[in-house]
Structure 1
């Protein structure tokens, strides 16, 4: 395969112009790549922002991407002679799982926080709400501070 790749945006334009002559899925150690034929060229589909072939771990995911994202319905060849799943174990992304857990936790916290703010606003707008003046709150917490100081002093 050539080291120069073709990007997804270019492939979409080629498909739209019906200039793509063919597509082949080639097995690689660790996954599957796509070789595209247009004009007199054959180039692998590249990853974003790099001149390296894109690699899918699953053949099904690769085919789905070609059909749904690139609108390529005909695949000329599936070559599994070089395919090996041996390198898949090293492709694990525990950082991605942690990032997703954090994102879900943040979304849940955001939902809870917005709910609490809404409850507070409803309570503040309720005419039956009893408001405590600032001076009264300061006096109550001053007494509480003094009691705590007495408890921790020998």
Structure 2
């Protein structure tokens, strides 16, 4: 069975071809079959697998942007509860989302730390003074270690 991708569909619609669509429910979403003349071709993603829309509104908006405003819907096989946990795109998207949340949480924490530092009423000291203080503390600690080990 031949298939059709977004770019080909877009060129057909732009050329003024009479294009129709059938929306079929499936496990976890919706798939589209494009009708052009006597041909019926499933809409595929860039990797050649049937393109699945998890949200019907997203699908309707997609078709509308292509000027396909009327289409037939078959929801007999639609199962909103079904999830394809082995779909690598789903796993990658979940990891991206987790990473984005972690980055946002870190950014929020970091900005709060910077603001707390800016708002700190204690006087600032120069880097040189800080080095001297740390050097003195280090020497004092080493002296205590030497005296306690004897």
Q: Normalized against structure 1, the TM-score is what?
A: 0.65
CA contact (8 A) 1:5 1:52 kept: no
Structure 2 gaps, min length 5: none
In 1, Cα distance between the equivalents of 2:4 and 2:105?
Answer: 40
Aligned length: 138
Select 2:83's aligned residue among 89, 92, 106.
Answer: 89
In 2, Cα distance between the equivalents of 1:73 and 1:14?
Answer: 15
In 1, Cα distance between the equivalents of 2:143 and 2:18?
Answer: 84
Deviation at 1:89, TM superposition (A): 3.4
User: Secondary structure of 2:20's match?
Assistant: strand
Deviation at 1:113, TM superposition (A): 5.4
CA change 1:14–1:79 in 2 (3 A) is same
Pairing 1:43-122 to 2, within 5 Å after superposition: 43-48=41-46, 50-67=47-64, 69-75=65-71, 77-81=72-76, 83-85=77-79, 88-91=82-85, 93=90, 96-107=93-104, 109-110=106-107, 116=114
Aligned-residue CA RMSD (Å): 3.4
Deviation at 1:151, TM superposition (A): 4.3
Q: Normalized against structure 2, the TM-score is what?
A: 0.67
CA contact (8 A) 2:27 2:83 kept: no
Structure 1 gaps, min length 5: 121-128
In 2, Cα distance between the equivalents of 1:102 and 1:61?
Answer: 24
In 2, Cα distance between the equivalents of 1:149 and 1:70?
Answer: 75
User: Secondary structure of 2:44's match?
Assistant: coil
Q: In the alignment, what sits opposite 1:124?
A: none
